Structure 1
């Protein structure tokens, strides 16, 4: 059976039932799973064992996944849950039915310019939301771009690259990300910003339009170096259908210096939207000069005159509109240039009221972009902002900020009466941790089950809080030492056993030369430790055994026509017993020897069932 077969049907965290394998990567394996609580299918990514053993990576993975879970946007793959179950660390995501951009490029080679621009715009929408929330992707590449069956684009794996950067087995100098899409600052281990994601998006857009990567090499290092030093190959040389405006956008996104790139995903998206009217439309001259070579000269000349006249009219209209638009743009640009620049105040760490006052005092417009839990930042305090503090912007510019909701509080579940393993899973499902385990005796709670907990059930605590529990060892077993009973009477032995919290068990009587009623042996023996209220079995003497006496009785069978049944019965101190019984011929004389105990015995003779004689015999 393969590992995949072994996982299918397995329940993770008592909630997610694995249905089938979707795919795998360097970090883990992705499964399609059924959420039994919400009755929906999800994507379940389980970390590889070697990743799970790296505690630094696991901790960073959980932090980054939780941060990414705060993102909620139609162009971002939603994260629903993060946890671990029996050593398996997992992340639960939205299940996207479709294909990756990598799959699409592998099939098509390159995309139409219109489709490539449409995909890039949707990626910008997702990145704009994430950047406003203070989250940078760090690994934009076709493998992390999902396209649904309806054409919607979703960006996946936010924060995973940053988590990988903390893994101890990667080494400090190793750059995390795919070499073909790395920004120059990632290659040189410089500060990574939102502009780094836009560089990687520029590379992805280049590949979508041309069907080729801008830089290739024999090794990842050779490719990475070109991102720092290489010239960007012409887009139009590889795809003449690409408009010059699009080539300019790609060149700006892939500028070596982050300051020369688009300063936000929104700015890049606006440029992509402006290039749309240029797609698939030829120049007016090309449209007007198209004709039919089979037309006669005269007819062709008339049509040419009509076309020329019409073209002049259109040209006149275009000139008028152009002059008007030109005047409007000159006026708008002049007004825009007249707006003074102001410095954006740093509002990170400020409470919301103070932050808004600072922004308004600087002539800027505060805009709340998101709220998220942060255990390290007090509630109602600004976590991040865009543009950053210290930047120069035009007065009246909107400044987006992310506000802390403080610690994420959870309700402690009631784990009393659960087994220790069940209690641990219940706590982990609430993002809590099992704390100290104190094992104590308990009369009613079964062994291995929780007796009490701290904090108590239904208490509100921070995520990650440790919950201490007391676990039952079962009823306490109290030992008692068996006393010496040999030589005592039953009454004395019973009294002594009670004093030692023990009980008298089975009593066996035997003949002996010792006094009648004296205990001869015991089980368990003296000095043995047993549980309280255990039984002690004893053997007692009933005195010496009586001697056997022998007597012979003579019986003459009466004259009869048929044989007679003769039976001899003896009653002595051991009770009544038949010593002889047999059919005897008439007139026959028999002698029967018997043995008896005691000083006397009663002997009875029966013929054919009737008492024939009875006598007391003595030694």
Structure 2
């Protein structure tokens, strides 16, 4: 497939992944010149109508959604037996790979990812689409942190069947919901169950149910309770565990009703007042079953009276003689009058006794949430006694009434009302985070309830490893009550301080020592090492060890200096006369003399201007056994020459042999004076026309000629040796 074009527009660049149904390639949209992801149905399914329909359904399901947390579908097509979907290309990784690398994830990161997944599911459910295969492999995370839900390959509309074929279901068994595993219809809550498993895996680093086979895992979804996340990872706040447990309930009636409800819970679960909320409790299924078997008392004959209906009452009175009925009202009337008199007398007697023995009662005012002093005054003004009992409370401030023994009732005057008063939050000790990495220290503090906004960082150059906490304020084990109000300052090491090593090469010994002192560096025990040098004059630094110029170095580092003791004994110091001729006599020219020898390389020895006639320039140079000297003459309207002086020339001159390679002294040669006052023949070019020429040196008048100052500052004038001209123009 690599290099193939689909639809005449999408060029396949390379494979990026694959699943059981399709392979995903990275492609290039030639028309819009953008990268896309091309999902191609596997070849073994191209003739399976069921898989083709499922593949098309993915495109239809995802294309109907438009949300920043859902992978966008650009195009769908078929070319011969290749079925493909073109979708948005996400530069990044998937959640499964992040879990393998970093699990367990930080609580804040896991909640942030779950919130974005939940937002995408809410949008899909709102559009009547159930994903049915939420798992980390189908959650893409871009480099910008944006979460994208993909792979709607087994998604179905809410109104359609969820069973793919008789007796089987489609999906990832470790993320099945119980109803999905049974093959019964699935809905929005099935996706929420899978989301709960994804959150469990992000925060614990493992799956809630494992088994030797897919069937055993599916049975565990149906039968076994999940191990509580906080037992695996105690850093999970109780509020987050409650969300996971509610999302993973086996009964849909106990789960969240919608993705929107989960999202609302996720948005507030990390707030300080929710982190330590009570653990969620669920009623047992048996308690909700009205048809469960119960133990009831047996019914015995005659235990319950039979109530007769008025219609069944004897009707004998109806047949009584009319005369008896007329006479029967007198006796009841008498009894009624007597009875009323007795009732009136009794009522009067009771009122009299109550008036004599009455006890005054008062209403109990409600003083909850009031300060203790104010509550006492209110109750005492109502002629009631007060008894206060203190207890710690993480919500109510100190000296605030939490509850009272009686309220909204009448009691006898003088009754004692017991008040439970807040003693303030429970005192805790600040955790010790010294010697931890900064990220681990912040995680430990935040998990203890401290606000990340109140954690400040001070970085210093210290001996400890970089990003290590070396001290903290307040100090470890110092007591506090409300963590959200405590400001913590962490001192973090930036490692040892470094700076750029100064360049000591070419400095005098005293200058180098001063620079070391100024930069808080030390001279090593070895001090300075003296060695001969061609490059530096006597007393100047030729090498610094162990750090070169501009290397990163720490204060207090010891440095060893190598100082020049002058030229080596075998060094050959010579003064060579060089003739500079204009191209045409009388025509002014400019000349540069470039010298390369054992001490310098391509150095401009001297520049001459307005040269109108032949001039002789004495060039002082140094040769060594493995380094010859070269004198180049360059310029405008000047004969460009190049002269090579070899170490053999120096040896011949030193031994008194004034000729080299059988060449004699050319006529009109200049003369030079050697260092010992002895007349020597100057060097003569071995061949060519452009060589240097010289005259015999004049006889000295006693002693030696003072040494000239050359490139090294301590070179003495050497007798002119034989020179070898290269002839012709310098190329």
TM-score normalised by L of structure 2: 0.38
TM-score normalised by L of structure 1: 0.44
Larger Rg: 2
Structure with larger RCO (C-alpha < 8 A, sep 6+): 1
Question: Relative to total residues, which structure has the larger strand share, 1 or 2?
Answer: 1
